[in-house]
Amino acid sequence: SLFFPRYHPDGTLREIVPLRDGYEKVIRRYVRDINSVPYPTRPIVPFMRVVHDRLSVEIARGCGWGCRFCQVGFIYRPLRERGGKEILEIVREALGSTGYDEVSLLALSAGDHRCLFPLVRHLMEELEEERIALSLPSLRVGTFPEGLLEEIKRVRKTGFTLAPEAATERLQRVINKVIPRDELLEAASRLYRAGWRVMKLYFMIGLPTEREEDIREIARLAREVRARGGQVNVSVSTFVPKSHTPFQWEKMLSLEEIEEKQSLLKGVLRGRGIRLKWHDPKMSFLEGVFARGDRRLGRVLLEAHRRGCRFDGWSEHLKWDSWQEAFDRAGVDPSFYISRERSLEEVLPWAHLDPGVKVEYLREERERAYRGLPTPPCREGCERCGMCGERGGLVLADPSDIPPPARRVGVREVVLRKPWVRKIRSRFLKLGEARLLGHLEMIDVFLRAARRASIPMRFSEGFHPLPRITFSNPLPVGVESLAEFVDLELRRYIKASEFVERMNRELPDGLRILSSAEMAFKGRALPNLFTADLFLISFEHLSSPPPLEEVRGALKDFSRRDRFPVKVEKKKGIREVDLVPFVEGLRALPLEEFEPPVPLPAGVPSPSDILETEWVVELKLKKAAGVKPQRFISALLGLSSDEERLLRVLKVESLPPPL
CA distances from 202 to 65, 69, 166, 274 (A): 17, 14, 9, 13
How many residues are recorded in the chain? 659
Nearer to ligand SF4, 59 or 394 (CB): 394
Closest contact distance (angstroms) between CB of 11 and ligand SF4 is 33
Closest contact distance (angstroms) between CB of 386 and ligand SF4 is 6
- Provide the β-strand partners of residue 18: 3
| Measured distance CA(386)–CA(378) in Å, rounded | 12
Instruction: Cite the beta strand spans of 87-136 per DSSP E.
Output: 102-106, 133-135
Query: What is the dihedral angle through the alpha carbons of 464, 467, 468, 473, rounded to the nearest 10 degrees?
Result: -100
Closest contact distance (angstroms) between CB of 392 and ligand SF4 is 9
Nearer to ligand SF4, 288 or 356 (CB): 356
Grouping H, G, I as helix, E, B as strand and the rest as coil, residue 177 is coil
Nearer to ligand SF4, 349 or 356 (CB): 356
List Cβ neighbours of 376 (8 Å cut-off, separation of 6 or more).
none
Closest contact distance (angstroms) between CB of 269 and ligand SF4 is 35
Nearer to ligand SF4, 378 or 639 (CB): 378
| Measured distance CA(78)–CA(395) in Å, rounded | 8
CA 344 to chain centre: 40
CA-nearest of 302, 299, 282, 284 to 333 is 299
Nearer to ligand SF4, 383 or 550 (CB): 383
Q: Residue 78: how many CB atoms within 10 A of its CB?
A: 23
CA 325 to chain centre: 33
DSSP secondary structure letter of residue 435: G
Angle formed by the axes of helices 84-98 and 116-127, nearest 10°: 30
Angle formed by the axes of helices 439-452 and 496-506, nearest 10°: 110
CA distances from 394 to 68, 316, 397, 648 (A): 19, 43, 10, 60
Closest contact distance (angstroms) between CB of 361 and ligand SF4 is 8
| Measured distance CA(365)–CA(69) in Å, rounded | 11
Closest contact distance (angstroms) between CB of 80 and ligand SF4 is 10
Nearer to ligand SF4, 173 or 448 (CB): 173
Grouping H, G, I as helix, E, B as strand and the rest as coil, residue 361 is helix
Closest contact distance (angstroms) between CB of 107 and ligand SF4 is 15
| Measured distance CA(490)–CA(607) in Å, rounded | 33
For residue 291, the surrounding DSSP H or E stretch is helix 281-291
Nearer to ligand SF4, 351 or 382 (CB): 382
Closest contact distance (angstroms) between CB of 225 and ligand SF4 is 31
| Measured distance CA(203)–CA(606) in Å, rounded | 61
| Measured distance CA(446)–CA(469) in Å, rounded | 10
Nearer to ligand SF4, 76 or 285 (CB): 76
| Measured distance CA(624)–CA(260) in Å, rounded | 55
Closest contact distance (angstroms) between CB of 63 and ligand SF4 is 9
Nearer to ligand SF4, 92 or 384 (CB): 384
Q: Residue 301: how many CB atoms within 10 A of its CB?
A: 14
Closest contact distance (angstroms) between CB of 362 and ligand SF4 is 11
Nearer to ligand SF4, 125 or 364 (CB): 364
| Measured distance CA(522)–CA(229) in Å, rounded | 43
Closest contact distance (angstroms) between CB of 75 and ligand SF4 is 11
Please give the single-letter amino acid code of residue 474: P
| Measured distance CA(363)–CA(118) in Å, rounded | 39
| Measured distance CA(519)–CA(509) in Å, rounded | 27
Nearer to ligand SF4, 378 or 537 (CB): 378
Residues within the interface to ligand SF4 (CB under 6 A): 64, 77-78, 378, 382-385, 387-388, 394
Nearer to ligand SF4, 77 or 122 (CB): 77
Helix, strand, coil abundance in the chain, percent, nearest 5: 35, 20, 45
Please give the single-letter amino acid code of residue 109: S
Nearer to ligand SF4, 70 or 483 (CB): 70
Nearer to ligand SF4, 178 or 610 (CB): 178
Cα-only R_g, the chain: 31
Closest contact distance (angstroms) between CB of 423 and ligand SF4 is 56
Residue nearest to ligand SF4 (CB): 378
Closest contact distance (angstroms) between CB of 125 and ligand SF4 is 34
Nearer to ligand SF4, 77 or 140 (CB): 77
Closest contact distance (angstroms) between CB of 381 and ligand SF4 is 8
Closest contact distance (angstroms) between CB of 245 and ligand SF4 is 14
The answer to whether residues 592 and 575 touch, using CB atoms and an 8 Å cutoff, is: no
For residue 590, the surrounding DSSP H or E stretch is strand 583-590
Please give the single-letter amino acid code of residue 107: A
